[in-house]
Amino acid sequence: MDQAFRGAHGVGLSDYQHNSKLRLKVEMERERDHELGQQMAARLERQAHREV
C-alpha cells in the first residue's frame, strides 16, 4: 500500500500520516484531481447526449 501511495502522491504513507502540512498538500491535490475528473465526466456526458 505504501508503494501505491508513493506512486500516486510522491510521498510515503508514513510521511503522510505524520506531517500535517504534507497531508494538507496531498489532500488539496486529490480534491483538485477529483474536481477535474468531475468536469471531464460532465463534458463527456454532454457530448454523448448532444444531437448531431
Are 5 and 12 in contact by the 8 Å Cβ rule? The answer is yes
Written as nine digits, the cell of 33 is 484531481
Cα gap 31→47, rounded to integer Å: 24
Summarize pLDDT for 6-49 with one digit per residue, the tens: 999 999 999 999 999 999 999 999 999 999 999 999 999 999 88
Length of the chain in terms of residues written: 52
Residues in contact with 8: Cβ distance below 8 Å, sequence separation at least 6, in sequence order: none
Q: How confident is the model at residue 50 (pLDDT cuts 50, 70, 90)?
A: confident
Written as nine digits, the cell of 26 is 496531498
